[in-house]
Structure 1
Amino acid sequence: MKKILFVILCGALLMLSACGSSEKKATGKEKEEKTVKIGIIQPVEHPSLDAAREGFIDALKDAGYEDGKNLKIDYQNAQGEMNNNMTIAQNLVADENDVILAIATSSAQAALQSTKDIPILFTAITDPIGAKLVSDLEKPGGNVTGTSDTHPDAIKNTITSIKEFIPEAKKVGIIYNSGESNAVVNVENAKKVLKEIGLESVEATVSTSADVKQAAESLLGRVDVLYIPKDNTVVAALESVIKVANEHKIPTFVGEGDSVKRGTFASYGIEYHDLGYSTGKMAVDILKGKKPSEIPVGFPEKLELVINKKAAEQEGITLTEDMLKDAKIVGE
Structure 2
Amino acid sequence: MASKLKQLWWLMLIFAVCNVVMAVMLYQSSSPEPVNEDVVPVAAKNVYSIGILQSDDLAEQNKMTAGVLAALEAEGYSKGGRAKIDIVQAKGNDKKLEASAKKFARDKKDLIIAIGTDSAKAAVKATKNIPIVGVGVMNFKKDKDFAGHRNLTGIMDNPAILTQIRMASRCMSVKKLGILYNPGDAAASLQVEILREVAAQKGISLYEVAYQPDKAAEPQIQKLVGHITALYVPEDTDLLTHFDDIVKVMNGANIPIIGEQSEMVRRGALISVSPSYYRMGFSGGRMAASLLKGDLIPEDIPIMRQQDPDIVINMKQVNALNIPLPGDLWQRSRKLYLYDGQPARP
TM-score normalised according to structure 1 size: 0.78
* Alpha-carbon offset, residue 304 of structure 1: 3.5
Q: Deviations over 1:28-61 (max 9, x none)?
A: xxx98x4322222222222222111111110001
* Alpha-carbon offset, residue 235 of structure 1: 3.7
Return the letter of the residue paired with 1:87.
A
Residue in 2 aligned with 1:264?
269
Residue in 1 aligned with 2:125?
113
Does 1:64 find its partner at 2:73? no
- Structure 1 residues 40 and 176, CA gap change in structure 2 (3 angstroms): farther
Question: Residue 291 of structure 1: which of 294, 297, 320 is its match?
Answer: 297
CA distance in structure 2 between the aligned counterparts of 1:178 and 1:82, rounded to whole angstroms: 18
- Structure 1 residues 80 and 201, CA gap change in structure 2 (3 angstroms): farther
CA distance in structure 2 between the aligned counterparts of 1:195 and 1:297, rounded to whole angstroms: 29
Residue in 2 aligned with 1:15?
none
* Alpha-carbon offset, residue 228 of structure 1: 1.4
User: Secondary structure at 2:304's aligned position in 1?
Assistant: coil
CA distance in structure 1 between the aligned counterparts of 2:214 and 2:119, rounded to whole angstroms: 17
Does 1:145 find its partner at 2:156? no
Residue in 2 aligned with 1:198?
203
Return the letter of the residue paired with 2:154.
G
Return the letter of the residue paired with 2:74.
D
Residue in 2 aligned with 1:171?
176
Does 1:43 find its partner at 2:55? yes
- Structure 1 residues 170 and 234, CA gap change in structure 2 (3 angstroms): same
Does 1:76 find its partner at 2:88? yes
Does 1:303 find its partner at 2:315? no
Return the letter of the residue paired with 2:108.
E
CA distance in structure 1 between the aligned counterparts of 2:105 and 2:219, rounded to whole angstroms: 38
Return the letter of the residue paired with 1:185.
L
User: Secondary structure at 2:144's aligned position in 1?
Assistant: coil
User: Secondary structure at 1:164's aligned position in 2?
Assistant: coil
Question: Residue 130 of structure 1: which of 142, 160, 163 is its match?
Answer: 142
Identity level (%): 28
User: Secondary structure at 1:165's aligned position in 2?
Assistant: coil
CA distance in structure 1 between the aligned counterparts of 2:217 and 2:106, rounded to whole angstroms: 35
The alignment of Structure 1 onto Structure 2 pairs a total of residues equal to 293
Return the letter of the residue paired with 2:151.
N
Question: Residue 226 of structure 1: which of 226, 231, 256 is its match?
Answer: 231
Contact 1:58–1:277 at 8 Å: present in 2 too? yes
Question: Residue 329 of structure 1: which of 327, 330, 335 is its match?
Answer: 335
Residue in 2 aligned with 1:99?
111
Q: Deviations over 1:12-31 (max 9, x none)?
A: xxxxxxxxxxxxxxxxxxx9
* Alpha-carbon offset, residue 308 of structure 1: 1.0
Contact 1:162–1:253 at 8 Å: present in 2 too? yes
* Alpha-carbon offset, residue 143 of structure 1: 0.9
Contact 1:173–1:201 at 8 Å: present in 2 too? yes
Does 1:243 find its partner at 2:248? yes
CA distance in structure 2 between the aligned counterparts of 1:238 and 1:91, rounded to whole angstroms: 35
CA distance in structure 2 between the aligned counterparts of 1:95 and 1:241, rounded to whole angstroms: 44
Contact 1:209–1:233 at 8 Å: present in 2 too? no
CA distance in structure 2 between the aligned counterparts of 1:163 and 1:224, rounded to whole angstroms: 11
* Alpha-carbon offset, residue 179 of structure 1: 3.4
* Alpha-carbon offset, residue 318 of structure 1: 1.9
* Alpha-carbon offset, residue 114 of structure 1: 1.2
In structure 2, stretches of 5+ residues that fail to align are 1-43, 338-343
User: Secondary structure at 1:58's aligned position in 2?
Assistant: helix
Q: Deviations over 1:115-171 (max 9, x none)?
A: 112111111122102223544xxxx751111001237xx31121123433223x543
* Alpha-carbon offset, residue 282 of structure 1: 0.9
What RMSD in Å do the two structures reach over aligned CA positions?
2.7
After superposition, residues 202-217 of structure 1 pair within 5 angstroms as 202-206=207-211, 208=213, 215-217=220-222
Return the letter of the residue paired with 2:304.
G
- Structure 1 residues 202 and 73, CA gap change in structure 2 (3 angstroms): farther
Contact 2:172–2:323 at 8 Å: present in 1 too? no
* Alpha-carbon offset, residue 182 of structure 1: 2.7
User: Secondary structure at 2:248's aligned position in 1?
Assistant: helix
Contact 2:51–2:85 at 8 Å: present in 1 too? yes
- Structure 1 residues 210 and 146, CA gap change in structure 2 (3 angstroms): farther
TM-score normalised according to structure 2 size: 0.75
CA distance in structure 2 between the aligned counterparts of 1:102 and 1:214, rounded to whole angstroms: 37
* Alpha-carbon offset, residue 215 of structure 1: 4.0
* Alpha-carbon offset, residue 309 of structure 1: 0.3
User: Secondary structure at 1:301's aligned position in 2?
Assistant: coil
CA distance in structure 2 between the aligned counterparts of 1:202 and 1:212, rounded to whole angstroms: 18
